[in-house]
């Protein structure tokens, strides 16, 4: 966590409600300057261990957690997000019953800053082994939906500090080089969209660069056995001083408007209009969004059967 005071208590509560599985929860306080540390220390639960992060980026902070983790299975949760009820037990049970897999992952939803559902991301409706698609550089879900055996993590190694973001994509792809990965369609994570997140404070060009280079590295490993970073020839990170970050409000509004039209198409016109109006609260000055809401009101929807 870094300056996650509005969210971290909820994040921990969503994890600590798991009582059927023995847990250790390592909280890496990465140089927070708000009340995050105070709030976590006020939670009286012996399963929590709080440690200081180095303040050198998200990958370095995560590596502190990996080094301290003693459990057989490791999961990641960012301090502003949530675990659905039963997620930990479900994934641990699955791995216990499928010893030939290094990891299992799932679907995820997006929430707005207040915790209201924005949309369920389309990650696949059928369970499948996704090892080969990862080996081809394709990711379908968020790394925070993963449960990974510690033995596999010891083989893969840590997150790579070169990645200012996209470290999660890089890790998913590297993991598939060392073991099989199963995808199950059950929702395993609730991802919160807000303006203070690293996704919405980092410039678009840097975010796209790191995501693209993670996939290129996987292609290089498949072809040559090593990638440029392993060969100590890292690509130059682009200068993005003139670029801007993406807006969480615009992303949420776009997702809600997409949900509105899918709902309208299924025949639920009133629910669609409500979603469209909610989208407008995030993009009140966007003319195209107003036009979309008017179209939702005027256009006939598919009749429900």
Each domain of the chain, given as residue ranges in start order, spans 8-224, 248-298
Q: Residue 245's pLDDT is what?
A: 63
Residue 115 near residue 81, CB atoms below 8 Å: no
Q: Residue 65 and residue 63: Cα distance in Å, rounded? A: 5
Confidence of residue 261 (pLDDT cuts 50, 70, 90): confident
What pLDDT sits at residue 304?
Answer: 43
Query: How remote is the C-alpha of 73 from its chain's centroid?
Result: 18
- In angstroms, the CA 4 to CA 54 distance is 17
Please check whether residue 76 is in contact with residue 58, taking contact to mean a CB–CB distance below 8 angstroms.
Answer: no
- Give residue-wise pLDDT tens across range 156-201: 999 999 999 999 999 999 999 999 999 999 999 999 997 776 564 5
Band of pLDDT at residue 271, cut at 50, 70 and 90: confident
Distance of CA 219 to the CA centre of its chain: 23
Predicted confidence (pLDDT) per residue in 48-68, tens digit: 999 999 999 999 999 999 999
Total residues belonging to the chain: 305
Instruction: Please give the average per-residue pLDDT across 227-256, as a whole number.
Output: 83
* Cβ count within 10 A of residue 86: 14
Asked if residues 167 and 139 have their Cβ atoms less than 8 Å apart, the reply is no
DSSP letter at 25?
A: E
What pTM does this model have? Answer: 0.86
Longest distance between any two alpha carbons in the chain, whole Å: 61
CA-closest candidate to residue 39, choices 94, 89, 1:
1
- Fold that domain 8-224 belongs to in CATH: Spore Coat Polysaccharide Biosynthesis Protein SpsA; Chain A (3.90.550)
CB 76 within 8 A of CB 62: yes
**CA 102, CA 176: separation in Å to the nearest integer?**
9
Q: What is the pLDDT of residue 302?
A: 58
C-alpha 231/C-alpha 111 separation (Å) is: 39
> CA-CA distance, 293 to 298, in Å (whole number)?
9
Other C-beta atoms closer than 10 Å to the C-beta of 105 total 27
pLDDT at 295 over 80: yes
Among 144, 117, 114, residue whose Cα is nearest residue 6:
114
Q: Please say if the pLDDT value at position 260 is more than 90.
A: no
Averaged pLDDT, 35-41: 98
Question: Distance between CA atoms of 92 and 81, rounded to whole angstroms?
Answer: 20
CA distances from 202 to 114, 207, 282 (A): 22, 7, 20
Q: Token pair 């409500």 is at which residue?
A: 274
Q: Would the pLDDT of 18 be above 70?
A: yes
Q: Which of 81-90, 102-111, 180-189, 239-248 has the lowest mean pLDDT?
A: 239-248
């Amino acid at each position: 966590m870094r300056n996650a005071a509005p969210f971290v208590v909820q994040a921990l509560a969503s994890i600590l409600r798991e009582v059927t599985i023995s847990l250790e929860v390592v909280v890496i306080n990465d140089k927070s300057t708000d009340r995050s540390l105070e709030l976590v220390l006020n939670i009286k639960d012996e399963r929590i261990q709080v440690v200081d992060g180095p303040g050198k980026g998200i990958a370095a902070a995560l590596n502190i957690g990996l080094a301290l983790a003693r459990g057989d299975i490791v999961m990641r949760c960012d301090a502003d997000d949530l675990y659905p009820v039963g997620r930990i037990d479900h994934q641990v049970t699955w791995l216990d019953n499928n010893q030939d897999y290094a990891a299992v992952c799932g679907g995820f939803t997006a929430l707005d800053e207040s915790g209201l559902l924005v949309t369920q991301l389309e990650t696949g409706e059928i369970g499948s082994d996704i090892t080969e698609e990862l080996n081809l550089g394709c990711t379908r879900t968020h790394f925070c939906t993963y449960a990974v055996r510690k033995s596999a993590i010891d083989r893969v190694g840590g997150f790579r500090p070169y990645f200012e973001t996209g470290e999660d994509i890089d890790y998913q792809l590297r993991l598939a080089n060392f073991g099989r990965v199963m995808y199950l369609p059950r929702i395993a994570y609730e991802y919160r969209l807000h303006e203070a997140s690293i996704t919405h404070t980092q410039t678009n060009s840097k975010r796209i660069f790191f995501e693209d280079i993670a996939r290129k590295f996987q292609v290089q490993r498949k072809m040559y056995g090593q990638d440029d970073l392993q060969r100590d020839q890292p690509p130059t990170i682009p200068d993005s001083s003139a670029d801007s970050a993406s807006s969480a409000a615009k992303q949420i509004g776009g997702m809600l408007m997409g949900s509105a039209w899918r709902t309208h198409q299924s025949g639920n016109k009133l629910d669609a209009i409500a979603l469209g109006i909610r989208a407008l609260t995030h993009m009140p000055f966007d003319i195209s969004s107003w036009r979309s809401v008017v179209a939702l009101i005027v256009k006939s929807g598919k009749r429900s059967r």
